[in-house]
Amino acid sequence: MSPRSASVNEELRRRSRERLLQAAVELVGEHGFEATTLGDIADRAGSARGLVSYYFPGKRQLVQSAVHRLMHRTLEEALEREPRTEDGRERLARAIDAILGLARDRPVLMRQHMAGLLQAEGFVQCPEQRRLAELLSDTVALYGAQNVSADYPMLRALLMGAVYAALVPGVPMPVPVLRTELFQRYGLEWEMGVPPESEEGRGAGQGDVSRFFATEERPGTV
């Protein structure tokens, strides 16, 4: 049997990493961060346990990358859904609803993510986090911000604050109340985006996440 080409090996490595990201999202969402081990993630992904450290320095970095992937793909899907639009106000409304929807529909996962951001490592600089930042920056620009470099961090901070407020154990704030506050700040009508009471807004983010990860099997998978 002839050796695999470099391009084939690269594709296999990429798919192996994708499966680990998906497994991390699923397991932390089901059991929480502390109860999920790297071995559990590797087993769910069908990967050798030693491969996890090849792609990620540790569990927290893996989980942050996985959640950032879920966030940026959820946001991307929301921004590009039909009917597609380049209207900056509608796209900002969709962005707000996408992020708040994750807090509503995946509370365990997002609570663990917010807790991880308060650790010493802070944000993990990874491709998933950079893509999320690019999407939010582009949304702010289309909205008409005069100073994107200042307005994007403010939007990010407001969204993080809203997610945190929605997830505080014992005293969570209702997502519709947080949505109202953000929409009023940015001058958005309630009917924009995906209102919580709409059919599309009810539990839209609770389903299968596999579409966000390129994990289809091929012969010779790493």
Q: How far is CA 82 from CA 78, 90, 116, in A?
A: 9, 12, 34
> What local confidence, expressed as pLDDT, does residue 222 receive?
38
Q: Beta-carbon neighbour count of residue 75 at 10 Å?
A: 22
Band of residue 84 on the pLDDT scale cut at 50, 70, 90: very high
Q: How long, in residues, is the chain?
A: 222
What is the span of the domain harbouring residue 79? 64-204
Is residue 221 over pLDDT 50?
A: no
Residue 166 lies in a domain: yes
> What local confidence, expressed as pLDDT, does residue 123 receive?
73
* Predicted confidence (pLDDT) per residue in 151-161, tens digit: 999 999 999 99
User: Would you say the C-alpha torsion 175, 181, 187, 190 has a positive or negative sign?
Assistant: positive
* Predicted confidence (pLDDT) per residue in 135-191, tens digit: 999 999 999 999 999 999 999 999 999 999 999 999 999 999 999 999 999 999 999
Residue 186 lies in a domain: yes
Residue 35 lies in a domain: no
Quote the number of domains for the chain. 1
pTM over 0.85: yes
Residue 47 lies in a domain: no
